[in-house]
C-alpha cells in the first residue's frame, strides 16, 4: 500500500491538491448541485405533500447537514487519503480502532449504488438535449410532453444507451484526475445554471399559478407528514449535499491547509439549498398551471420544464442549453460519487487512476441495468420500497447516508479529541463551540430519532 506520510510529519494527498480555496468550493458545489436539486427535490417534495416536507428538509440541512459536512471535510483533510484509509488511520491515531474503516467502506458502496441509478437519470437528461434541440417540444401540450417521456423510458435500449454514454463521460473525467478533470468542469457550470433557472423563474411567475406553487411549497400541513416523509426529508438533505458517504471527505483530502472549513461549508450549503428552492419555485407553478400532479414521481421535471420552454420564444434553444447544463451538473456530481471508490482502488491496489476509473465505472455500469429496466421491462417487479430503482434509492438515501452521517459525527464529535478538531476548524471560539454541540448531540440524536421512528 502507498504511504502519504511526508518526512516532516505533514500528510499530503497522493492525488494532488486543489489549486485554490475557490477551486475547492467550486468542486464541492459541483458535487452537491446536481440531479438532487432539480430532478429529485421537486418530485420528492411533491410526493410528500409539499410545505411540511420542505420545512423539515430545511431544518435537516442546517442542523444536521452543515455539521456533517464540516466533519467530513475536517476528517478528510486530516487523513488525506481515501475515506476507507482515512477512517482507519484516524481511528487508530485518536486511540480508538482501525475498524472505523467500515464507515468509509459503507460510503464507497453507497456511492457505487447511487451512481448506478444516477447515471440512468443523467442519461435521460442527455436525451432531452437532443429532443429539445430538434424542436420536439415547441408548442407541445402537456399531453404530448408526457407521452414523449413515457415512450422514451419504455424503450429500455434507448435508456441503456444513454446510461452507457453518461458512464463513459464520467469515467473519462475521473481518469484525468483532480485538477485536470474535476476543477475545469465546475468553473462555469454553476453560474450558467443559475442564470437559466432565473430565466425560468420569470416564466413561471408569469404562468398565473405562481401563488399556488409558493403556497404548495411553503404552507406546512403537518397532517400530511408521516415519519417516512420526515425520513425522506432527512435522506434528501444528505443526498443533495453529497454527505454521509465520503465524497466530501475525499474532496477534503485535497484541501490546502489554510482554507476555512466553516466558510466553505456555509457557502456550499447555501448555494445548494438556494438552487433546490429555485427549482421548486419554477416547477410547482407549472404543475398547477397545466393541471399536472405534484406527486407524479421521477418524471416530474421531464413533464414540466419542456412544456414551459415549448411556449417561450426561442424555447428550443433555451431548453437545449438547460438540459446541457443539467447534464453538466449531473456529471460533476457523478465524479464525486465515484471518487471515494477510485481513490481507494488507486491507493490500496496501487493502480493508475485510469485503470481504477474503468474498473469501478464498469461495475457501476453493470449495476445500472437494474435501474434501466425498472422503468420498462421490470416495471412490474415491485417489492419493499417499489421497483429496483426505488429500492436502491431508498436504501442509499434514507438508510446508508443517514447512518454514515451518524457515524461520521460520532467520530468527529466523540472519538477525535478536541485538539484535533479545533486544529482543523481553526478556532476555539463561538463557531467551533456551535459545531461541537451540533456534531456531538444535535445531529446524531436527530438522525437516530428519525431513523428509529421511521423504521419502527
Interface pick for ligand PHE out of 29, 86, 240, 265 (rule CB under 6 A): 240
The per-type count for the chain, helices as H runs and strands as E runs, is 23, 0
Q: Which is nearer to ligand PHE, 40 or 436 (CB)?
A: 40
Which among 197, 59, 110, 128 is positioned nearest to 398, based on CA atoms? Answer: 110
333 binds ligand PHE (CB under 6 A): yes
Write the CA distances from 87 to 6, 196, 346, 409, integer angstroms: 19, 40, 17, 12
Among 43, 149, 239, 251, binds ligand PHE (CB under 6 A): 239
- Residue 182 is a binding residue for ligand PHE (CB under 6 A): no
Binding pattern for the stretch 104-123 against ligand PHE, x by CB under 6 A and - elsewhere: ----------x---------
- Burial level of 310, CB count in 10 A (0-12/13-18/19+)? buried
Name the one range near ligand PHE by CB under 6 A: 71-79, 333-341, 386-394, 440-448.
Answer: 333-341
**Residues 342/353, Cβ–Cβ less than 8 Å:** yes
Q: Does residue 413 sit in helix, strand or coil?
A: helix
Nearer to ligand PHE (CB atom), residue 145 or residue 249: 249
Binding piece for ligand PHE, criterion CB under 6 A, among 80-88, 139-147, 332-340, 424-432: 332-340
Q: Is 343 in the site for ligand PHE (CB under 6 A)?
A: no
**Binds ligand PHE by CB under 6 A, chosen from 64, 84, 140, 337:** 337
| C-beta closer to ligand PHE: residue 43 or 210 | 43
Kindly state the smallest distance separating residue 114's Cβ from ligand PHE, in Å: 6
Q: Which residue's CB is nearer to ligand PHE, number 88 or number 272?
A: 272
Q: Which is nearer to ligand PHE, 72 or 424 (CB)?
A: 72
Under rule CB under 6 A, residue 213 binds ligand PHE = no
Coil vs helix vs strand at 415: helix
Residue 304 binds ligand PHE, judged by CB under 6 A: no
Q: How far is the CB of 236 from ligand PHE (least distance, A)?
A: 9
Q: How far is the CB of 411 from ligand PHE (least distance, A)?
A: 19
Closest CA to 206 of 281, 277, 141: 281
Find where cell 478533470 sits. Answer: 181
Nearest approach, Cβ of 10 to ligand PHE (angstroms)? Answer: 28
Residue window 19-38: x/- pattern of binding to ligand PHE, with contact defined by CB under 6 A: ------------xx-xxxx-
Q: Interacting stretch for ligand PHE, rule CB under 6 A, among 51-59, 223-231, 241-249, 347-355?
A: 241-249
- Cα–Cα distance for residue pair 125/431, rounded to 1 Å: 40
Q: Is 118 exposed, middle or buried (0-12, 13-18, 19+ CB in 10 A)?
A: buried
Q: Which of 65, 104, 294, 336 forms a contact with ligand PHE (CB under 6 A)?
A: 336
Angle at which helices 101-133 and 156-176 cross, to 10°: 120
Number of residues counted as binding ligand PHE (CB under 6 A): 15
In the bound state, the residue with its beta carbon closest to ligand PHE is 36
Between the CA of residue 143 and those of 137, 139, 152, 177, 307, what are the distances in Å? 11, 11, 14, 44, 10
Q: What 8-state DSSP symbol labels residue 11?
A: B
**Candidate list 242, 273, 290, 320; residue touching ligand PHE; CB under 6 A:** 242
Query: Cβ neighbours of residue 68 under 8 Å, at least 6 residues apart?
Result: 238, 241, 243, 244, 405, 408, 409, 439, 443
Q: Give min distance, CB of 8 to ligand PHE, in A.
A: 33
For the record, the C-alpha cell of 26 comes out as: 467550486
Please name which of 33, 61, 20 lies closest in space to residue 266, comparing C-alpha atoms.
Answer: 61
Sign of the torsion angle spanned by Cα atoms 231, 236, 241, 247: positive
Phi/psi-derived region of residue 246, left when phi > 0, alpha when psi is between -120 and 50, beta in every other case = left
Give the nearer residue to ligand PHE in terms of CB position, either 330 or 425: 330
Residues that bind ligand PHE (CB under 6 A): 31-32, 34-37, 114, 239-240, 242, 245, 247, 333, 336-337
Amino acid at each position: 500500500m502507498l504511504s502519504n506520510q511526508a518526512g516532516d510529519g505533514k500528510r499530503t494527498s497522493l492525488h494532488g491538491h486543489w489549486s485554490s480555496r475557490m477551486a475547492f468550493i467550486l468542486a464541492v458545489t459541483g458535487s452537491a448541485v446536481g440531479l438532487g436539486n432539480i430532478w429529485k427535490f421537486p418530485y420528492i417534495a411533491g410526493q410528500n405533500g409539499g410545505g411540511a416536507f420542505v420545512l423539515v428538509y430545511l431544518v435537516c440541512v442546517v442542523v444536521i447537514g452543515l455539521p456533517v459536512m464540516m466533519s467530513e471535510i475536517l476528517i478528510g483533510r486530516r487523513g488525506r487519503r481515501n475515506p476507507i484509509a482515512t477512517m482507519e488511520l484516524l481511528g487508530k491515531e485518536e486511540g480508538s480502532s482501525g475498524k472505523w474503516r467500515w464507515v468509509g467502506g459503507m460510503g464507497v458502496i453507497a456511492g457505487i449504488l447511487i451512481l448506478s441509478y444516477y447515471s440512468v437519470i443523467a442519461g435521460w437528461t442527455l436525451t432531452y438535449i437532443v429532443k429539445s434541440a430538434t424542436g420536439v417540444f415547441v408548442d407541445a401540450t402537456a399531453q404530448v410532453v408526457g407521452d414523449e417521456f413515457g415512450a422514451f423510458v419504455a424503450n429500455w435500449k434507448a435508456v441503456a444507451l444513454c446510461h452507457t454514454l453518461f458512464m463513459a463521460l464520467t469515467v473519462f473525467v475521473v481518469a484525468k484526475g483532480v485538477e485536470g478533470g474535476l476543477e475545469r468542469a465546475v468553473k462555469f457550470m454553476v453560474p450558467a445554471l443559475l442564470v437559466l433557472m432565473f430565466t425560468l423563474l420569470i416564466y413561471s411567475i408569469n404562468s398565473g399559478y405562481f401563488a399556488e406553487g409558493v403556497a404548495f411549497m411553503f404552507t406546512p400541513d403537518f397532517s400530511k407528514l408521516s415519519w417516512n416523509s420526515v425520513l425522506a426529508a432527512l435522506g434528501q438533505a444528505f443526498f443533495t449535499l453529497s454527505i454521509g458517504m465520503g465524497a466530501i471527505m475525499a474532496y477534503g483530502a485535497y484541501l490546502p491547509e489554510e482554507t476555512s472549513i466553516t466558510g466553505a461549508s456555509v457557502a456550499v450549503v447555501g448555494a445548494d439549498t438556494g438552487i433546490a428552492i429555485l427549482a421548486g419555485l419554477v416547477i410547482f407553478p407549472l404543475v398547477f398551471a397545466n393541471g399536472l400532479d405534484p406527486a407524479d414521481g421521477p418524471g416530474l421535471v421531464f413533464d414540466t420544464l419542456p412544456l414551459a420552454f415549448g411556449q417561450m420564444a426561442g424555447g428550443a434553444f433555451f431548453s437545449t442549453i438547460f438540459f446541457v447544463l443539467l447534464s453538466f451538473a449531473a456529471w460533476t456530481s457523478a465524479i464525486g460519487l465515484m471518487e471515494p471508490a477510485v481513490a481507494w482502488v488507486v491507493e490500496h491496489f496501487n493502480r493508475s487512476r485510469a485503470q481504477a476509473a474503468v474498473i469501478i465505472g464498469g461495475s457501476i455500469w453493470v449495476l445500472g441495468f437494474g435501474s434501466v429496466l425498472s422503468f420498462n421491462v421490470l416495471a412490474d417487479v415491485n417489492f419493499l420500497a417499489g421497483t429496483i430503482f426505488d429500492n436502491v434509492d431508498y436504501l442509499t438515501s434514507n438508510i446508508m447516508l443517514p447512518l454514515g452521517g451518524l457515524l461520521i459525527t460520532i467520530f468527529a464529535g466523540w472519538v477525535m479529541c478536541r485538539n484535533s478538531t479545533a486544529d482543523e476548524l481553526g478556532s476555539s471560539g463561538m463557531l467551533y463551540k456551535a459545531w461541537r454541540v451540533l456534531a456531538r448531540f444535535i445531529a446524531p440524536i436527530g438522525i437516530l430519532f428519525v431513523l428509529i421512528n421511521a423504521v419502527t
